[in-house]
A and B are shown apart, each in its own frame.
Chain A
Amino acid sequence: MSTESTPAPSSSVAQDIQPAPRFAVSALVTNLREYGLVLALIAIMVFFQFTTDGTLFKPVNLSNLVQQNSFIIVMALGMLLVIVSGHIDLSVGSVAGFIGALAAMMMVIWPLGFLSNPLVVSIVCLIIGGAIGAAQGYWVAYHRIPSFIVTLAGMLIFRGMCQALLGGGSSVGPLPAGFKALSSGFIPDLIGTWEIVPPTVNLAGKTIVGSGLSLHMTTIVIGVIGVLAYIYFGLKARRAREHHGYHAEPFVLFTAKTLVISALVLFLVYQFATYRGLPIVLVVMGLLIGLFVFVTKRMTIGRRIYAMGGNAKAAQLSGINIERLTLFVFINMGVLSALGGLIIAARLGQAVPAAGLGSELDVIAAVFIGGASAMGGVGQVIGAVVGGFIMGVMNNGMSIMGVNVDWQQVVKGLVLLGAVVFDVYNKNKA
């Protein structure tokens, strides 16, 4: 979310034309894209909540939704940087598949001794992912070969290597439980469960799964702390701006935004708490999202990536090493593709030749739905994340509704087109 707004007119400069009362309206208009995207996600969620007779927000389904789509969002974080820097990476689905296969071979087939420990394997796989990113980024950065071509080649190469590793069409598994926890595990309840309504016991003396109401208290505490921190830092940033004499975001808008987001987070946290708590993969994803928001909004390296995507020549003449930066962006993408591959394998419990097949398109779509420009220089992390969730909720909702997979694709395609058309229309109107 952007908290930027117009500063006070400085004395020596031509007068600001915008009168103060129009701030609320103009701030809303300038941020329409970002607010609109979140509202669209909420609308889509509410829509499916009705059409699936309330299944969408059921705690079990929310956990499923996160576990099914987290790899898209993880990879979308890397793809956002790639697209903002003016490139594209078509190889991410294949790299994810290859890394999944490699991880499975290391843990199940190859006699590596202690090296086949899931944690060691995961770290090795992330490093190899980074190396793959570097190998592709090298050609893009230092030889100026279009990323579309380099990564198209990578897409073929790593899909082929994935299948070759698995020995043709077979799958490799089962993977150890410790590894599968990455996708299907939940955070441990350190505080203890608060049983509000004890579960019903049936006549045979067995408890009925899903009955009663108990809360995963660690989840609740994390959620509440998170929301309080969000409100605290929001207020603090506001006060700092006002203290320095700059106009902050209009208070009404700030309050509304904070309340809506806090309420949404608390609601989701509560739902998770009534089930088994926060999925581990959600925590991993959340931390990564936070990291990438920070990097793009607050760090010099993020700023440089936007500058490079906006005008590479000007960035270069401003002292930015654009070759190295491009290489970094692709290494980052490689690591996140590898993480995506691990998450897929962990969820399936085995490595299959088709793992991640076609997911590059979902990832790229998420970034574009999130408002990134195909020309580079424009795009937000939160946008890509929300875009990923929009895709995920649609997948999940339509599956529950029993919409045919073929038609699901049609709908997703239309949503992608619609989002971009909306964007372009908005831009031209402004």
Chain B
Amino acid sequence: MVSTILEMRGITKTFPGVKALSNVNLSVEEGEIHAVVGENGAGKSTLMKVLSGVYPDGTYDGKIIYRGQECHFKGIHDSERQGIVIIHQELALVPMLSIAENIFLGNEHARYGVIDWHANEARTTALLKKVGLNEDPKTLITNIGVGKQQLVEIAKALSKEVRLLILDEPTASLSEKDSQALLDLLLEFKNQGITSILISHKLNEVNRVADHVTIIRDGQTIETLAKGDISEDRIITSMVGRALEDRYPPREPDIGEIVFEVKNWSVYHPIHAERQVIKGIDINVRRGEVVGIAGLMGAGRTEFAMSLFGRSYGRRITGDVLFRGKPIDTSTVGKAVQHGIAYVTEDRKTYGLNLIDHIKHNITLANLGGVSRHGVIDDLRELAAANDYRGKTNIRASSVYQMTGNLSGGNQQKVVLSKWLFASPEVLILDEPTRGIDVGAKYEIYTIIARLAAEGKAIIVISSEMPELLGISDRIYVMNEGRIVGEMAASDASQEKIMRAIVRGEGKAAS
């Protein structure tokens, strides 16, 4: 007989000025894998924080009924005591402590404060076996990969006698193989009777393991689908509230003369001085053209882009950068910007935004000259510019005075993009412009890219998602181990062709 382990009824949670959740219902059956999907900012994480007591009882409306009893969690300890364990997207492990120390952190086998290491390690070994991780409990966290760290987090959850395991985007930073292993583990847990809630963007994963899918949009429950009814199209439709006939906006390329050219570009590693990271790259971009750079992780794409942009990466940089046929100096970021080049980083939180300042100040930062005279900022001009770009890129926020740290990933990305659009560049280098953002926001970013190309900008897109590159580019360079190993028109490119170029390039590099 199927029984309900968790029921959340009419959950409403408001932040100052924003209604994050509005009357959300979620019902999870004992022993199932229940997926929760939705766009970034839809309220998935907020819902899980309500459930786990991060937002304590009384700060939200609605009821949580867990194993037949109404719960009033005052904090995360209360929910953990009941066997509800949440594993956050950003792993909460201490890098310089061992696996065993991390698993029992705050929960050590100890007597009068003296730790019994034998007991800890013995239990750790048993737990690691359960999650299929073959590592010495004494190994430091910093010495194992992200995939294994994720398993340690799960082992830690198991050590707390978990009944309901919540995983927030567990495979976001895992390789394909590690992701598969993790999903298998979830299925294994299901056999042992552990219930899981899986928050994910990756619809193929959801498809594979979930028994039910609940879709949340704009802080509201849209629908819950049972296994038989789950289909990617149906989920996408519910997530974005409209049918997505095409995931990429249509565009009519109008390609002109060569605008931007890089010749024989070489870069050495900033620390290991003898290691050449970029090995004589030649590329060019035309007016109104979107050029993709494909490649695997570690191919050197970001390093290439950052070394071009004000020598922000690497040492002993040689080669020429030409703008409309004339060599230009891009040796500092300031000079590169002056010459009309913009680089939109892949890591918006670390390199893109001042998270403790509001949208307006972030948007104008790269072009303060555009809103000031003699070094004095015109407040109203700045406000007008910020509102203008907020509208153009459709940033969803209560106003331009909202802190960027409080925005969802997609909206943060739009702020970074706005910042560079406001600098009115001729050449835009977009590094993983849709990483970690949801389907709806991706479409909006693609639309912006298409519009910029139509305006005659030259655009370089670096992406690890091959369908995306094939969908939006006119031409694709394939990069591997610091070299360009292939170039093809998007019209006759395919994922297989790109992969073949990478593999062939690898063979070349080895010989």
- For the complex, give the distance between the alpha carbons of A304 and B396 in Å: 25
Is B376's CB within 8 Å of the partner chain A? yes
- Find chain B residues with CB under 8 A from A301 CB: 375
Which of B93-101, B257-265, B382-390 is found at the contact surface with chain A? B382-390
- For the complex, give the distance between the alpha carbons of A18 and B16 in Å: 9
Whether A377 pairs with B395 at a CB distance below 8 angstroms is no
- For the complex, give the distance between the alpha carbons of A303 and B379 in Å: 12
B164 to chain A, nearest CB (A): 28
Whether B401 pairs with A13 at a CB distance below 8 angstroms is no
B58 to chain A, nearest CB (A): 14
Whether A12 pairs with B394 at a CB distance below 8 angstroms is yes
Which of B42-50, B133-141, B352-360, B479-487 is found at the contact surface with chain A? B352-360
Is B372's CB within 8 Å of the partner chain A? yes
Whether B17 pairs with A17 at a CB distance below 8 angstroms is yes
Contacts A300-B372, A307-B361; A14 near B396 (Cβ below 8 A): yes
Which of B233-241, B287-295, B343-351, B454-462 is found at the contact surface with chain A? B343-351
Contacts A313-B351, A378-B356; A298 near B310 (Cβ below 8 A): no
Partner of A430, one of B16, B332, B351, B395: B16
Contacts A16-B398, A310-B356; A10 near B391 (Cβ below 8 A): yes
- Find chain B residues with CB under 8 A from A412 CB: none
Whether B355 pairs with A310 at a CB distance below 8 angstroms is yes
Interface of chain B residues 366 through 407 with chain A (CB within 8 A) = 366, 368-369, 372, 375-377, 379-380, 383-384, 387, 390-391, 394-401
Taken residue by residue from 1 to 23, chain A's Cβ proximity to chain B (1 for < 8 Å, 0 otherwise) reads as: 00011110111111011100000
- For the complex, give the distance between the alpha carbons of A7 and B361 in Å: 14
Which of A52-60, A67-75, A238-246, A329-337 is found at the contact surface with chain B? A238-246
Is B309's CB within 8 Å of the partner chain A? yes
Whether A377 pairs with B312 at a CB distance below 8 angstroms is no
Is A315's CB within 8 Å of the partner chain B? yes
Is B19's CB within 8 Å of the partner chain A? yes
Whether A319 pairs with B310 at a CB distance below 8 angstroms is yes
Is B271's CB within 8 Å of the partner chain A? no
Contacts A314-B354, A319-B334; A6 near B399 (Cβ below 8 A): yes
Whether A299 pairs with B377 at a CB distance below 8 angstroms is yes
Smallest Cβ-Cβ distance to B306: which chain A residue:
A317
- Find chain B residues with CB under 8 A from A16 CB: 398-399
A86 to chain B, nearest CB (A): 11
Whether A299 pairs with B391 at a CB distance below 8 angstroms is no
Smallest Cβ-Cβ distance to B380: which chain A residue:
A244
Is B337's CB within 8 Å of the partner chain A? yes
Is B18's CB within 8 Å of the partner chain A? yes
Whether A6 pairs with B361 at a CB distance below 8 angstroms is no
Interface of chain A residues 17 through 43 with chain B (CB within 8 A) = 17-18, 26
Whether A7 pairs with B387 at a CB distance below 8 angstroms is yes
Whether B366 pairs with A319 at a CB distance below 8 angstroms is yes
- For the complex, give the distance between the alpha carbons of A315 and B16 in Å: 29
- For the complex, give the distance between the alpha carbons of A6 and B361 in Å: 14
Is B333's CB within 8 Å of the partner chain A? yes
- For the complex, give the distance between the alpha carbons of A377 and B355 in Å: 10
Whether B391 pairs with A12 at a CB distance below 8 angstroms is yes
- For the complex, give the distance between the alpha carbons of A310 and B345 in Å: 17
Whether B398 pairs with A317 at a CB distance below 8 angstroms is no
Is B185's CB within 8 Å of the partner chain A? no
- Find chain A residues with CB under 8 A from B376 CB: 298-300
Smallest Cβ-Cβ distance to A6: which chain B residue:
B399
Interface of chain A residues 107 through 146 with chain B (CB within 8 A) = none
Whether A317 pairs with B357 at a CB distance below 8 angstroms is no
- Find chain A residues with CB under 8 A from B309 CB: 317
Contacts A10-B390, A310-B357; A300 near B375 (Cβ below 8 A): yes
- Find chain B residues with CB under 8 A from A377 CB: 354, 356-357
Contacts A317-B312, A430-B16; A240 near B354 (Cβ below 8 A): no
Whether A314 pairs with B396 at a CB distance below 8 angstroms is no
- For the complex, give the distance between the alpha carbons of A315 and B419 in Å: 12
A21 to chain B, nearest CB (A): 14
Smallest Cβ-Cβ distance to B381: which chain A residue:
A244
B46 to chain A, nearest CB (A): 16
- Find chain B residues with CB under 8 A from A26 CB: 16-17
- Find chain A residues with CB under 8 A from B54 CB: none
Interface centre among A317, A318, A373 (most CB of B within 10 A): A318
Is A316's CB within 8 Å of the partner chain B? yes
Whether A316 pairs with B312 at a CB distance below 8 angstroms is yes
- For the complex, give the distance between the alpha carbons of A14 and B410 in Å: 14
Partner of A17, one of B18, B336, B369, B395: B18
Interface of chain A residues 286 through 342 with chain B (CB within 8 A) = 298-301, 303-304, 306-307, 310-311, 313-321
Is B322's CB within 8 Å of the partner chain A? no
Partner of A314, one of B332, B351, B375, B380: B351
Partner of B383, one of A246, A303, A316: A246
Interface of chain A residues 158 through 194 with chain B (CB within 8 A) = none
Whether B394 pairs with A314 at a CB distance below 8 angstroms is no
Is B365's CB within 8 Å of the partner chain A? yes
- For the complex, give the distance between the alpha carbons of A318 and B368 in Å: 10
- Find chain B residues with CB under 8 A from A310 CB: 354-357
Whether A307 pairs with B334 at a CB distance below 8 angstroms is no
Interface centre among B19, B309, B401 (most CB of A within 10 A): B401
- For the complex, give the distance between the alpha carbons of A380 and B499 in Å: 54
Smallest Cβ-Cβ distance to A378: which chain B residue:
B356
Whether B353 pairs with A311 at a CB distance below 8 angstroms is yes
Whether B354 pairs with A311 at a CB distance below 8 angstroms is yes
Smallest Cβ-Cβ distance to B19: which chain A residue:
A17
Contacts A10-B387, A303-B361; A319 near B337 (Cβ below 8 A): yes
Whether B333 pairs with A319 at a CB distance below 8 angstroms is yes
Whether B398 pairs with A18 at a CB distance below 8 angstroms is yes
Interface centre among A244, A246, A307 (most CB of B within 10 A): A307
- For the complex, give the distance between the alpha carbons of A298 and B374 in Å: 11
Whether A303 pairs with B332 at a CB distance below 8 angstroms is no
- Find chain B residues with CB under 8 A from A17 CB: 17-19, 398
Whether B333 pairs with A241 at a CB distance below 8 angstroms is no
- For the complex, give the distance between the alpha carbons of A311 and B184 in Å: 40
- For the complex, give the distance between the alpha carbons of A14 and B395 in Å: 8
- Find chain A residues with CB under 8 A from B380 CB: 240-241, 244, 246
Q: List 20 A-B contacts (CB under 8 A).
A: A5-B401, A6-B399, A7-B401, A14-B396, A18-B398, A244-B380, A244-B383, A246-B380, A300-B369, A303-B361, A304-B368, A307-B357, A310-B354, A310-B355, A310-B356, A314-B350, A315-B354, A317-B309, A317-B343, A317-B352
| Leading 10 A-B pairs by shortest Cβ distance | A310-B354, A318-B366, A12-B391, A300-B368, A319-B333, A319-B334, A311-B354, A6-B399, A319-B337, A14-B396
Residues of A within 8 A of B (CB): 4-7, 9-14, 16-18, 26, 240-241, 244, 246, 298-301, 303-304, 306-307, 310-311, 313-321, 373, 377-378, 430
Residues of B within 8 A of A (CB): 16-19, 309-310, 312, 332-334, 336-337, 343, 345, 350-357, 361, 365-366, 368-369, 372, 375-377, 379-380, 383-384, 387, 390-391, 394-401, 419
Besides the contacts A10-B387, A316-B333, what 12 more A-B pairs have beta carbons closer than 8 Å? A7-B401, A13-B396, A14-B394, A16-B399, A17-B18, A300-B369, A300-B375, A304-B365, A310-B357, A311-B354, A314-B351, A318-B365
